[in-house]
A and B are shown apart, each in its own frame.
Chain A
Amino acid sequence: MDPVVATVRFCPACGAEPRFVQEYWVAADRHVVCWCAACDGTCTVVLGAIVGTEPQH
């Protein structure tokens, strides 16, 4: 399967196949812009390291 399509096969909002899937890079992170025709939702899926930073206690 095409690596971009494989990245986001389902709309994170409604589960349909996204009509538009576009990868771009932010430093070492892959960002994938998705637009779903079924729910008209747009989102960006980020594939990268998770850095959890809690607010100062």
Chain B
Amino acid sequence: MLSAEKNERLTRVGPGTPMGELLRRYWWPVATHDMATRVPVKRRLLGEDLVLYRDGSGTVGLLAEQCPHRRAALWLGCTEEHGLRCGYHGWRFDADGACLEQPGEPADSTFKDRIRATAYPVRELGGLVFAYLGPTPAPQLPRYDLFVWDDAWRDIGHAELPCNFVQIMENSVDPYHVEWLHGRYGSFLRELDGRGGPLPVVTKKHVKVAFEVFEHGILKRRVLEGHTEEDEDWKVGHPLVFPHMLRVGAAGLATFQIRVPIDDENTWHVWYQTYRPDGGAPPQAAVPVYEVPLRDEKGEWLRDYVDGQDIVAWITQGRISDRSKEHLGRSDLGVILLRKLYAEQMERVARGEDPLCTYRAPHDVIDLPMERDKFGSAVAFRQLWTRESSIRYSPIRDDIFELFGDPVPAWTQ
């Protein structure tokens, strides 16, 4: 149980809230690369309504939705060679928010020099557009390994989920759910559908788990039934990358699950995959982007695969989980550690300090730990994950199978 007051503190992400101030110290994916075009689009991040565009010179801009003039939405606008022109009266703004033009005003007026649109810095990296909504100077955009490898294929799935981001993040420090939500419940659905026996890999029982706060967030370790502390699930583990990502995968298949708070009650979930077989992957022309569906043709929540099961477990906790009614046990110590870490980092920000995972020095790459043989076997994990995660919706899934050349697993037949 967590008090209602502390649950509020944990989950509110808007400007001026303790969590909102913490989260504003980080760069956030605000769009996939294909969303930043000459057509301005509405985006929402940390409770703020924004407009994203790419002007004729290729500059990507992110402005507050409302025009400073008469408050019309700037997505009702035209991208020019330089900047975005409001569709209502033609005021034009650059990516720094400077007002470049006010067509209706006298030619010799200096009025435009006193007007600024709210503008936020943006950077493109690895097929994503990142934005920073916090106080200046902005920290460095972290160049996590998956975003910068030049010998990997990538694809990016995404969906808007109707729940607060913290309950999604808590799933990443809750190893036991794997053997139940995916192992037992997932296999139960397979039985009902006549799709064969239990899934491999995710049905393995946990013998012990451990969590450790480290420089990148929380490192998660597990020993599964039949395994030992010499296996990489324990010796290496994989991280929750603070404050918003899970790193998961096995040799050659490394992924981020990125949880981007749209507002208190909605989260943009990004499944960011890299495919990097031994020796590297051939060049990839463009990073494919796809939407992950949430419901089937009957309107039912899709839950016949691993990510669908996770999504439904997150959403059914409510828009904001009422933690004053929960009953945690010893198997929830990872969840407690994460909540404490958020509380500690909010306090650091309140004291004027940089929180964990804030990078001020330029860097080439930030390498993160991740086991090669996850759940005992890299091949078995890849066979499962490329079929039973959101990758099943990837437009390049068949190419991925070919890239790795893993045998077709018996459990699919």
Contacts and interface: CB of A to CB of B under 8 A. Distances in A.
Same complex for A and B? Answer yes
Interface of A: 2-5, 19-26, 33, 35, 37, 42
A20 B338 CA distance: 11
Interface string B1-21: 111111000000000000000
Majority secondary structure of chain B interface residues (helix, strand, loop or mixed): helix
Contact of B339 (A5, A20, A42): A20
24 contacts: A2-B3, A2-B4, A3-B1, A4-B2, A4-B3, A5-B5, A19-B343, A19-B347, A20-B343, A21-B3, A21-B6, A22-B1, A22-B6, A22-B339, A22-B340, A23-B2, A24-B330, A24-B332, A25-B328, A25-B330, A33-B336, A37-B343, A37-B344, A42-B340
A5 B344 CA distance: 18
The secondary-structure label for the interface of chain A is strand
A22 B336 contact: yes
A22 B9 CA distance: 13
B6 A20 contact: yes
Which 4 pairs show the lowest CB-CB distances between chains A and B? A24-B328, A20-B343, A2-B3, A23-B1
Contacts of B5: 2, 5
In this complex, the interface size class of chain B, counting residues with CB under 8 Å from chain A, is 10 to 19
A10 B80 CA distance: 59
Contacts, number: 53
A20 B335 CA distance: 13
Nearest to A3: B1
B124 to A, nearest CB: 37
Interface string B344-364: 100100000000000000000
A4 B347 contact: no
Interface of B: 1-6, 324, 327-330, 332-333, 336, 339-340, 343-344, 347
A4 B325 CA distance: 11
Contacts of A25: 327-330
Contact of B329 (A3, A19, A24): A24
Contact of A22 (B327, B328, B329, B330): B328
Contact of B328 (A5, A21, A23, A37): A23
A4 B1 contact: yes
A22 to B, nearest CB: 5
Contact of B340 (A4, A20, A23): A20
Contacts of B332: 24
Contact of B2 (A22, A26, A37, A42): A22
Contact of A26 (B1, B330, B340, B347): B330
Contacts of A42: 340
B1 A37 contact: no
A35 B336 contact: no
